[in-house]
């Protein structure tokens, strides 16, 4: 796992926006972290990097929001999922294996159905404004993305 310590929300947004510039069609970004750690803020900045102009909000009650950018962004929040069948009802496979980027909050709750290849982004609260963001790729593609992302 590659981790970076950030001092404030602006630094979190900068790294997420850079990731938004690096991702490509079919990428899966799995967000993990405590409530209030900054997962939604991260995805909002990721959307900026993708060229999304709409206001990005957490889809906590609808499970998924779709946004147009240079490639589509599919923003999932599975916090309130009770069983995997709810994901099947959404037709999650069309999103996971489609032409857009999937960003999934609380991805650890649906690990059984996640594609094998994905980027895991874990945000840990280390202080009132500080966070530690850890990235883990499942293959060379995502490992290369992490390396590019963490370049100074």
Q: What is the pTM of this model?
A: 0.94
The total of other beta-carbon atoms located within 10 Å of residue 134's CB is: 17
Q: What is the mean pLDDT of the chain?
A: 94
Chain segment 45-103, per-residue pLDDT in tens: 999 999 999 989 887 777 899 999 999 999 999 998 888 888 998 899 999 999 999 99
User: In the chain, pLDDT over 70 holds for what percent of residues?
Assistant: 99
Domain that includes residue 106, residue range: 2-149
Q: Number of folded domains in the chain? A: 1
Alpha-carbon distance 49 to 145, whole Å?
Answer: 14
Alpha-carbon distance 148 to 84, whole Å?
Answer: 34
User: In the chain, pLDDT over 90 holds for what percent of residues?
Assistant: 86
Ramachandran assignment for 36, one of left (phi > 0), alpha (psi -120 to 50 degrees), beta (any other) = left
Q: What is the CATH number of the domain that holds 62?
A: 3.40.50.300
Could you tell me the pLDDT band of residue 149, with boundaries at 50, 70 and 90? very high
Model pLDDT, residue 152: 65
Model pLDDT, residue 25: 97
């Amino acid at each position: 796992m590659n981790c970076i310590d950030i001092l404030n929300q602006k630094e979190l947004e900068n790294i997420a926006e850079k990731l938004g510039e690096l991702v490509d069609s079919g990428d899966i970004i799995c967000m993990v972290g405590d409530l209030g750690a900054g997962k939604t803020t991260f995805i909002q900045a990721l959307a900026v990097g993708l060229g999304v102009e709409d206001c990005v909000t957490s889809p906590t009650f609808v499970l998924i929001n779709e946004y147009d950018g240079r490639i589509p962004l599919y923003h999932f929040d599975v916090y309130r999922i009770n069983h995997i069948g709810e994901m099947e009802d959404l037709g999650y496979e069309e999103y996971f294996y489609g032409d857009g980027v999937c960003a999934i909050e609380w991805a650890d709750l649906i690990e059984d159905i996640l594609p094998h290849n994905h980027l895991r982004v874990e945000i840990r609260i280390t202080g009132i404004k500080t966070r530690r963001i850890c990235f883990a790729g499942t293959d060379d593609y995502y490992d290369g993305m992490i390396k590019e992302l963490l370049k100074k």
